[in-house]
Amino acid sequence: MTSSVLDLAPVVPVVVLEDAADAVPLARALVAGGLPAIEVTLRTAAALDAIRAIVAEVPDAVVGAGTVISGRNVSDTVAAGARFLVSPGWTDRLLDAMKASGVPFLPGVSTTSEVVALLERGVAEMKFFPAEAAGGTAYLKALAAPLPQARFCPTGGISLASAPSYLALPNVGCVGGSWMVPADAIAAKDWARVERLASEAAALRG
């Protein structure tokens, strides 16, 4: 895979799975729709089993772990096969663990000082979260001039309608979102709908 999570696809689906049995058909639908990078969040007890299942059965998927907030999360998800890590925020301890993991990672930021601190630590690719609540495209546009070396994956409140305005920014590599994996579609096991929504998202370009 590319060394940068930001270059895998214009949109990274942010997936919350209550049942690990849904992981493989969901991942297949997302890959078929053109979204190979899939962030499985650690918000449910099924997350690690879901990551393992996707790794084992959907070879074209690049599955990562989201909501990584501890060193234990890092080690558990990498052991499960996660190929990238995403955190909502970061601390020195968490950053050290992600750096030591050997897989690409996107630490979360929402302020200029956090961005500068990461750059100081040699990290130039990060998640901007919660994107809409933290200032959206206007905030990211303002960061581009003084901090052009920082690149972002904005996540949080982004929709099919708002994604293009983010992707048009020079410091945005991709966006994260969950609009192509709605909870009602997963509950209904409507994988055709997920694939259709993924295709729409994959067609987005800045």
Q: What is the 3-state secondary structure (H, E, C) of the chain?
A: CCCCHHHCCCEEEEECCCCHHHHHHHHHHHHHCCCCEEEEECCCCCHHHHHHHHHHHCCCCEEEEECCCCHHHHHHHHHHCCCCEECCCCCHHHHHHHHHCCCCEECEECCHHHHHHHHHCCCCEEEECCCCCCCHHHHHHHHHCCCCCCEEEEECCCCCCCHHHHHCCCCECCEEECCCCCHHHHHCCCHHHHHHHHHHHHCCCC
Active site residue 132: no
* Active-site residue, from 18, 39, 125, 189: 39
* Active-site residue, from 120, 127, 189, 200: 127
Positive or negative: CA dihedral 200, 86, 65, 69: negative
Active site residue 39: yes
Q: What residues are labeled active site? A: 39, 127
